[in-house]
Amino acid sequence: MDMARSILKATHFPNDYWAEAVHCAVYILNKCPTKAVMNKVPEEAWSGRKQGVTHMKVFGCVAYAHIPDQLRKK
């Protein structure tokens, strides 16, 4: 919970975003190596697949959803 609180404080977001901050904190923790599973990432130990972090963005940054041409309507 400390991590979620820190995320909210660093972004100056209101407490209304608590659930999103907790979700983000759990996601980050699942991407961090731990001794409990022999220095593996918990998600990697669970799924057996190597996980990347290149898709991660800063919490609270501007983001845009891509809508494929086939799904766009005029």
At 33-62, the pLDDT tens digits run: 888 888 778 888 888 888 777 888 889 888
Six-digit token string for 33: 């190596």
Q: Residue 43: which domain range? A: 2-71
What integer pLDDT is reported at residue 18 of this predicted model? 96
Q: Which residue, among 2, 18, 1, has the nearest Cα to 59 in the 3D structure?
A: 18
- Say how many domains are in the chain: 1
**Does the pLDDT of residue 23 top 90, yes or no?**
yes
Q: Is 69 helix (H, G, I), strand (E, B) or coil?
A: helix
* Confidence at residue 19, expressed as pLDDT on a 0 to 100 scale: 96
Structure tokens that stand for 28 in this block: 């980050």
Reply yes or no on whether the pLDDT at 22 is more than 90.
yes
Residue 47, pLDDT score: 84
